[in-house]
A and B are shown apart, each in its own frame.
With several copies, the nearest count.
Chain A
Amino acid sequence: MDRTFAVAIGGAAGQGVATPGDIFAKIFARRGLHLNAYNAYQSIIRGGHTFLTIRAGIEEVTCFGDHIDLLIPLNQDSMDRHIGLMKANAAVVYNSDTIKPGSLTQAQLCPLPVNQLSKGSRSKVEQNTLALAASLRMMGVDFEPLAEILTEQFMRKGSKVVTENLDIARVGYDYAGANFQPFAFPLPMSGMQYAVLSGNTALAMGGAAAGVKFYCAYPMSPSTGVLHWMAAHARSAGILVRQVEDEIGVINMAIGAAHAGVRAMCATSGGGFALMTEGLGMSAMMETPVVVIDVQRAGPSTGVPTKTEQGDLWQMLGAGFGDFPRLIAAPTDILDCFRLVPEMHNLADRFQCPGIILGDLLLSEGRSSVDPKQLNFDTEIDRGEMIVSADPANGENGYKRYKITESGISPRAIPGVPGHTHTAATDEHDEDGVLISDEFTNPAKRRAMMDKRQRKVLGIEAAVQPPVLIGTPTAEVTLVGWGSTSGVIREAVAMLNEEGISANQLQIRWMVPLHGEAIVNILKSSKYTIMVENNYSGQFARYLRSETSYVPDGCIRKYDGEPFMPHHIVEAVKEQLACKTHKTQQLSVPVHEIMV
């Protein structure tokens, strides 16, 4: 990986970590730099410790990395927690009126005498603006981009506020020029301009691109961002957004809307999804497509609401009891959050079954740069076999909603179409939708309907591409991950290769359909496979084994709520390769050295 630059801002909730973070991100992205940001925060409104890392570079930045180049601690606590981990060539910019650099460090200390510089007024905001401006100067960034953004930001508060802010920024900028060492490598730039968005925004925009016209939700971290984007853009996007009394109401309302013919979507996290599982079965039995986003957070139960985990997979696999076709996919990065949504809607519509998107906090609340051209709203829309108006060919008497077909798909008429009235039921039914227990419970009809629905699985498998190996096939070690760990594994692979350990990567995006055979074919020719998962029990490893019997040589797991950093994976891989002879399924549990 090319040279990157990481800024980190630490403070208590409510201290305003977000705003300077946003400004850094905007400046980086407008400068044509890629970036990746992760905010480690807690489930409290005030206090605690929030730690935002923004890492930027010319090449795609796939994770927030291992090192911090510039630290801005907004309180003593943040200074104390992180100073010890700062390397040489790094710098710490801080308010020297209130914060002391506790322990010794090799990093450059950049104390800002905030009171003196700002003349003591409104010091919270000013402290942040001073630090921001000073930092940019040290990175070799011109003053103009900052001025531009501050102007945009304070415009609606009037020109006086703008001027005040520009003045204080200029003071910080100049003070750094006079007093601090600039970084050895000034921040690069490119001719590009990137959009910066979170996974939640990407999921919501993906819904808009997919033609979702009904979105409903009950707030639940870390999925609430999807609701917020939808609500804010509802009127312009022509999407009806409803907040419902609970998640049971959410999925049932979404299915109702979908049944009446719109594309409907909802998002929640594990606990809310638990309440939706009964509804998922309804979608399957009525063959009414619905797309549910589950943004995973650390469980079980309420768990650690603001921390990440990949721990909901088995809930998804078993959700809804009984056997029925379903779709489950985990996006691999923030852009993929955007892309996966229309793809999932197309498949759910075509195969008339529930589709689940398995995101997680890391992506959903993380942010990354995306080339705006990639946010394609002209993506394919395939609504499947749907009857939206009367067609003389489908006569009044001829229409059977659950017609037994070779593909298992039966054309779906939406309410309002003359000549196609029928009742969709969650009880088992015959081709015409008549309950088989209201008629005569009939094992043959029951089996025929089960077989019909399950035949869709073949079509689903054919509609999704199997995963492919990234990197040299002959590598010494293959790292297998799923969903959001894509970026950090990619970087770990690069680091391993740099260190002379040849590594490659297999990242799984589709859980159902899985393409187990294709996966095993790849893994069978791998020399040593290590499964990387952000959960305790190796949920994906267990699932892959259930479908293929495949057991990897080792595994790296993390279940402390924080995401992997590249060095966690690199070190664990090295450790496991060192005692490879045992060939048992070794477990590595990386420890977080940063106590966020």
Chain B
Amino acid sequence: MATVLQLQPLTAADFKGKVDPDWCPGCGDFGVLSSLQKVLAEMNILPHNVVTISGIGCSSNLPGFIDTYGMHTLHGRALAVATGVKMANHKLNVVVTGGDGDGFGIGGNHFIHTIRRNVDLLYVAMDNQIYGLTTGQTSPTSRKGMKTKSMPYGNVEEPINPITLALAAGATFVARGFSAEPKHLANLIKQGLEHKGFSFIDVFSPCVTYNHDNTYAWFRERIKKLEDDVSYDSSDWHEAMKRGLLWGDEIPIGKFFQRTDLPSLHEAEPLLDQGEPLAHRELRIAPEIVRNFITELM
């Protein structure tokens, strides 16, 4: 993703939004927000060159808490909106944030198709394995057996695995973070922003209010950084699939996969490949071209 050079060094404070987050104290989403703000400052991307786009959910409230251009769209639709934004102005840095319900439930189709188009944006899913804003129902990533208000007798469905699903859909950058590992997460966000193409980071972001199964402690006991395994090769898709399937005593976080040989959508589109962003182009069509359009009809 293209970065725009700053005039003077930025700090995370330059990305402070108009209001403070109203998330529950302890909510995992705080860690994601601050990591994002930190990395944007570090990378010296100016706030007005970033568009943060979300759907609806606790996590999707994020654009209101960061000073960039923001779009707080419809439940599940952020990726479609973001694709439109990127196509209209491919010079902008587009960041999509949202929840597991938003992204893998109602938004699942856009997830797959945005991935295969390799739209150049960073998608950070704050995955708390629950529907937070609607006060605690089963989400597509809720584990089997988990009891919620909507499945009080326990979930009987296999959860979605966002990592392997993204890989199968053809994602060019796939990672997983943990909101209580801010440095690690910031590093992933940085890599994701730098990646030219669709970057997906699934972040374990515990809901302290409604998910009493997948707590900070629960994750802390299990997570293991892929980076700690020096032999791990993130260009090996099949290996990424193997690690992506792990879920139990050991749950990997880190960068599962990256490939850089595929063009992103705006690079593949000859119309955008060079020249100004669409949003700044001349609206009128040249008279000789118009003449051709009409001659065709005669």
Residues of A near any B CB (own CB < 8 A): 14, 26, 29-30, 43-48, 193-197, 201, 205, 208-211, 213-214, 216-221, 224, 227-228, 231-249, 252-264, 271, 278-279, 282, 286, 301-302, 370, 372, 375, 377-378, 381, 388, 414-427, 432-435, 438-439
Contacts and interface: CB of A to CB of B under 8 A. Distances in A.
Nearest to A46: B24
Contacts of A420: 48
Interface string B92-119: 1000000000000110111011000000
B106 to A, nearest CB: 4
Given A195-B294, A257-B84, A426 B69 contact: no
A377 B293 CA distance: 11
Interface in B120-139: 131-135, 137-138
B84 A45 contact: no
Interface in B23-79: 23-25, 46-49, 51-53, 56, 58, 61, 63-64, 67-77
A56 to B, nearest CB: 15
B109 A256 contact: no
Contacts of A209: 285
B135 A271 contact: no
B223 interface: no
Nearest to A419: B48
Given A213-B283, A372-B294, A424-B72, A236 B278 contact: no
Contact of A194 (B89, B284, B298): B298
Nearest to B24: A46
B279 A234 contact: no
A415 B80 contact: no
B152 A45 contact: no
B209 interface: yes
B253 interface: no
Contact of A240 (B72, B82, B278, B293): B278
A419 B47 CA distance: 9
A38 B280 CA distance: 40
A194 B110 CA distance: 44
Contacts of A378: 284
B48 A421 contact: yes
A46 B278 CA distance: 41
Given A14-B24, A245-B110, A246-B106, A263 B153 contact: no
B292 to A, nearest CB: 7
B75, B91, B140 interface centre (most CB from chain A within 10 Å): B75
Contact of A236 (B25, B283, B284, B292): B292
Contacts of B217: none
B48 A262 contact: no
Interface stretch (B171-179, B198-206, B255-263, B269-277): B269-277
A256 B270 contact: no
Nearest to B84: A256
Contacts of A426: 56, 72-74
Contacts of A219: 131, 134, 137, 150
B281 interface: yes
**Sorted from nearest, which 7 A-B pairs have the closest CB atoms?**
A256-B84, A211-B283, A423-B70, A261-B279, A260-B88, A252-B80, A256-B81
B136 to A, nearest CB: 9
A241 B70 CA distance: 25
A260 B279 contact: yes
Contacts of B230: none
B69 A415 contact: yes
A372 B92 CA distance: 40
B289 A245 contact: no
A197 B58 CA distance: 28
B149 interface: yes
Contacts of A261: 88-89, 279-280
A252 B92 contact: no
B137 A425 contact: no
B69, B74, B87, B149 interface centre (most CB from chain A within 10 Å): B74
B74 A252 contact: yes
A243 B88 contact: no
Given A227-B150, A260-B84, A416 B77 contact: no
Contacts of A419: 48
Nearest to A239: B271
A246 B105 contact: yes
A43 B150 CA distance: 19
A253 B132 contact: no
B84 A44 contact: no
B290 interface: yes
A388 B56 contact: no
B151 interface: yes
Given A14-B24, A214-B278, 16 more contacts: A196-B297, A218-B106, A237-B293, A240-B278, A243-B137, A260-B92, A262-B278, A377-B285, A378-B284, A388-B280, A415-B48, A421-B68, A424-B70, A425-B70, A434-B64, A435-B72
